[in-house]
Amino acid sequence: LTSLFPDSLQTVQVAVPGPFQGPLSYLSKTVIPIGCRVEVPLGNRTVVGIVVDHENPDDIDPKKLKPVSRQLDERPLLSIDILSIAQWMSRYYLHEFSSAYLLALPALLRKGEVPAASVETRVKLTLEGKAIDPAQLKRSPKQQALLDILQRADQLSMEQIRQLGFTSAHLKSLETKRLCEREEVEQLGEIKPTGDKLETSLTLNSEQQAALDRLTQDIFTPFLLEGVTGSGKTEVYLQAIEACLRKGKRALVLVPEIGLTPQTIQRFQRRFKDPLVALHSGMTDKQRQQAWYQASLGQASVVIGTRSAVLTPIPDLGLIVIDEEHDVSFKQQDTLRYQARDVALKRAQQANIPIVLGSATPSLETLHNALIGRFGHLLLPNRAAGAQMPLVETVDMRKQQNRNGLSERLLLRTHDHLRDGNQALLFLNRRGFAPSWFCDQCGWIADCVYCDANLTHHRHSNTNICHHCGHREKPAHSCPSCGHSPLQAMGTGTERAEELLADLFPDIPVIRFDRDAASTRKKFEAQLEKTQADGPAIIVGTQMLAKGHHFERVTLVGIWDIDTGLFSADLRAKERMGQLLTQVSGRSGRGERRGEVLIQTYYPENPIFTPLLNHDYRTFAVKLLDERKKAGLPPFGFVAVIRSDSAFADRAENLLRSMASYLLSLKTVRVLGPIPALLSRRAGKNRYMLIVQAEKRSALHEAVVPLHSHYPRQEKQVSWHIDIDPAELS
Ligand code: ADP
Ligand code: ZN
Ligand code: ZN
């Protein structure tokens, strides 16, 4: 009997957290379905893992395996389609095997918690509530609006009411008037999508209609929806989603990290009666887990989220939308370095459904795919509401008086626009008070002791801060090099700009957007709220401003400083700059008055500006594509960057040198380096990189995959990683 015992055990393959390149095998007395979580022993700990397979690799003796400690789920938490995408990701991005599987789960479930079926509070109208004319509540517009929506929707969940921008106080008032009542429902099964609407859709213009007609297919078709800012891309998404819901299928919408604000969510929730869930970093772990679980049970018809939402299990998925597809936040820059846009494409292909990538400034990769016909190309060349594109001009800084970099010309135009009661938006891609703290006698500049970078002076807190490692110190009073005092803040950051503007326009509110003034989602939203007040205002900030927010009343956009971007060594610097300029310019003049854009530069004759002055991002991008083609760079070739860092420069460099000679010996890839990273020292670590290029994706992968077995990820105080399809060559 005892000899039979091992045979009645099953082996399971489990994705466990840790530096493994595949799943680990364990024994189980029962058959545990693939996609369930288990607790398993690992070293002297117990960890939560995910069952990914049942087969046992031939070379493992079952007698040596340890048993699963506990099965956590009876039914799979991750569906087969998600498991297969995760498997693809772990092979493609070459990080720890389990990381993509774990990424698919919200944090609490990763820790082993039991997913809670949600008890939903529904709000329904009473007979009185159904009969009453909402106009009777016109003294309290919010209550009137809520009643109006309830009459159109029949019933709403508390979550929907919240997403629509109402508070429980609004609801209470209606309840006290006995117009509606609440009901607790335990939601177990799925909720069928209907596509029924709360508000009527806009009548599409002919370009929008043509785009919509092609989007409503039932097979895998990737599309680029290229439309200038304000061309009505969102309306196209909404109607494509409606068509999808009407077929009983669900939709997934991905937006950039900073783009997912209550306003964005409301825009989608206002349209449909169907439930929607949002997934983003501003939610608590508990909220995230609940939203994720609802989505996975099919209780949401629309799932809208940031990067990692791409792995949300959604039954009967019928459409994927990626808004602002060029945005860098779709690429994760640490651990599992995945590009959510590419993962979404893979997912759409596997699910055999359409996917639409929308942007006014498509990434070169996506544009290329559209130009060669691999993606359908949908164009919205005009602004939907009839607004004209803004007038764009450069301001030659060599011929201008300026105060902290603000030219006479931009100052005068700002004055004009504010006088007319409009808002002006000034863009300055540098936060802090001033980019450096410096001695005007000898030229000494305060450096970070841990990085190869200047410290940024922050006046408000009177500290010099390193923006690369976070190191802070009190600014020196006298020059450590020549003894001169006082020292000065040189250059202009958003904090100094705000101070200067407040000084120049004492009666006008100045609203600042950067990682300091809008450090949390809440603060960011509070700043956004301020921009909605009546009257003139100045909005000043970093690239946070370029991310798809509509500032309806901005008529003037000023680009304070863009020149540093002209000379960056990074592969994508020019692409980014063109996108940024176009996107920031697009914030202007969406309303009645024609917008105006002024670009301050010391290099007005630089050809990079020409197409942008004519609203011709396409010509600009095609030119860059040409340069990429000559260099064999993406999308014409494939690139991986291998980065190493160490407190000892020679160890970091030598590791890459050894890899380089191995890779070169293969004769299938080109290798550049090792070279010091753009920021060669950061947080006390010396950083090097190796650029690996190949014409074929497979050649690149075949070359770099074996590195993981030859070189431990952490050894002799050197750590290293591979970044496939890097967002930056730095
Ligand atoms: P995008 O997403 O391309 O920046 P939006 O979808 O936000 O553009 O649309 C810009 C503005 O134009 C919005 O105020 C929207 O309500 C309006 N709009 C969009 N489509 C139409 C249409 N077909 N008719 C009238 N107005 C429209
Ligand atoms: Zn000095
Ligand atoms: Zn530093």
The model's pLDDT over 468-512, given as tens digits with 9 standing for 90+, comes to 888 999 999 999 999 999 998 888 899 999 999 999 999 999 999
* Cα–Cα distance, 254 to 368 (Å, whole number): 21
What DSSP state is assigned to residue 339?
Answer: B
Burial class (CB in 10 A: 0-12, 13-18, 19+), 389: buried
Query: What pLDDT score does 629 carry?
Result: 92
Which ligand is in closest contact with the Cα of 452?
3
Which of 254-268, 591-605, 655-669, 674-688 ranks highest by mean pLDDT? 655-669
CB of 86 closer than 8 Å to CB of 104: yes
pLDDT > 70 in the chain, percent: 97
Atom of ligand 1 nearest to the CA of 550: 7
For residue 114, give the amino acid letter.
V
pLDDT in tens, 172-208: 988 888 899 988 887 778 899 999 998 889 999 999 9
Span of 74-83, 225-234, 293-302, 382-391 with lowest mean pLDDT: 382-391
Query: Six-digit token pair at 62?
Result: 């079952």
- Split at pLDDT 50, 70, 90, the class of 5 is very low
Nearby residues for ligand 2 (ion, Cβ within 5 Å): 439, 441-442, 444, 479, 481-482, 484
Residue 275 preceded by cis peptide, ω within 30: no
What DSSP state is assigned to residue 615?
Answer: T
Mean local confidence (pLDDT), 572-590 = 81
- Split at pLDDT 50, 70, 90, the class of 1 is very low
CB of 671 closer than 8 Å to CB of 691: yes
Shortest-distance Cα residue to atom 15 of ligand 1: 232
Quickly tell me which residue has 């074996």 as its tokens: 706
pLDDT in tens, 274-331: 999 999 888 899 999 999 999 999 999 999 999 999 999 999 999 999 999 999 999 9
Mean local confidence (pLDDT), 369-384 = 94
Q: List 38's β-bridge partners, or say none.
A: 49, 71
d(CA 437, ligand 3 centre) in Å = 14
Closest CA to 347 of 79, 609, 133, 687: 79
Q: Quick one: which H or E segment has residue 240?
A: helix 233-246
482 lines ligand 1 (CB under 6 A): no
* Cα–Cα distance, 593 to 554 (Å, whole number): 9
Give me the long-range contacts of 469-472 (CB less than 8 A, separation at least 24). Answer: 469/682, 469/683, 469/684, 471/683
Atom of ligand 1 nearest to the CA of 227: 3
d(CA 647, ligand 3 centre) in Å = 14
239 lines ligand 1 (CB under 6 A): no
* Cα–Cα distance, 55 to 62 (Å, whole number): 11
Shortest-distance Cα residue to atom 9 of ligand 1: 232
d(CA 465, ligand 2 centre) in Å = 20
Atom of ligand 1 nearest to the CA of 205: 23
Q: Using CA of residue 679, residue 683, residue 685, residue 690, what is the dihedral sign?
A: negative
d(CA 118, ligand 3 centre) in Å = 45
Q: Quick one: which H or E segment has residue 693?
A: strand 685-694
Mean local confidence (pLDDT), 362-383 = 95
Query: What pLDDT score does 57 carry?
Result: 67
202 lines ligand 1 (CB under 6 A): yes
Angle subtended at Cα 649 by Cα 647 and Cα 651, rounded to the nearest 5 degrees: 90
User: How many other CB atoms are there within 10 angstroms of residue 696's CB atom?
Assistant: 12
Shortest-distance Cα residue to atom 4 of ligand 1: 230
359 lines ligand 1 (CB under 6 A): no
Which ligand is in closest contact with the Cα of 477?
2
pLDDT > 90 in the chain, percent: 57
Give first-to-last CA distance, the chain, whole Å: 62
d(CA 187, ligand 1 centre) in Å = 36
- Split at pLDDT 50, 70, 90, the class of 548 is low
- DSSP per-residue letters across 153-190: HSEEEHHHHHHTT--HHHHHHHHHTTSEEEEEEE--S-
Closest CA to 551 of 487, 508, 595, 519: 595
Query: Six-digit token pair at 711?
Result: 């070189």
Atom of ligand 1 nearest to the CA of 204: 23
d(CA 211, ligand 3 centre) in Å = 48
692 lines ligand 1 (CB under 6 A): no
Which ligand is in closest contact with the Cα of 482?
2
Quickly tell me which residue has 């692409």 as its tokens: 575
Which of 13-22, 145-154, 569-578, 588-597 ranks highest by mean pLDDT? 13-22
3-state secondary structure of 57: coil
In this structure, the strands spanning 221-227 and 354-359 are parallel
Query: What pLDDT score does 2 carry?
Result: 39
Average pLDDT, rounded, for the chain: 90
Burial class (CB in 10 A: 0-12, 13-18, 19+), 283: middle
Q: With a cut of 90, say whether residue 249 has pLDDT above it.
A: yes
Atom of ligand 1 nearest to the CA of 228: 3
* Cα–Cα distance, 340 to 335 (Å, whole number): 14
- The pTM (predicted TM-score) of the whole model is 0.90
- Split at pLDDT 50, 70, 90, the class of 573 is confident
Residue 486 preceded by cis peptide, ω within 30: yes
pLDDT in tens, 676-699: 888 888 989 999 999 999 999 999
Span of 128-132, 543-547, 712-716 with lowest mean pLDDT: 712-716
Could you list the beta-strand ranges (E) of 345-482.
354-359, 376-380, 391-396, 402-403, 406-407, 423-428, 436-438, 456-458, 463-465, 472-473
Angle subtended at Cα 213 by Cα 212 and Cα 214, rounded to the nearest 5 degrees: 90
* Cα–Cα distance, 382 to 379 (Å, whole number): 9
Query: Six-digit token pair at 508?
Result: 């006008």
Cα–Cα distance list, 682 to 448, 450, 647 (Å): 9, 6, 10
Q: With a cut of 80, say whether residue 588 has pLDDT above it.
A: no
Query: What pLDDT score does 584 carry?
Result: 83
Query: Six-digit token pair at 227?
Result: 């439309």
d(CA 472, ligand 2 centre) in Å = 21
Task: Please list, in sequence order, all residues whose beta carbon lies within 8 angstroms of the beta carbon of residue 649, skipping any fewer than 6 positions away.
Answer: 686, 688
Say what the alpha-carbon torsion angle 294, 295, 301, 304 is, to the nearest 10 degrees.
Answer: 120
Q: With a cut of 50, say whether residue 369 has pLDDT above it.
A: yes
CB of 464 closer than 8 Å to CB of 446: yes
Which ligand is in closest contact with the Cα of 449?
3
Can you give the length of the chain in residues?
A: 730
* Cα–Cα distance, 499 to 505 (Å, whole number): 10
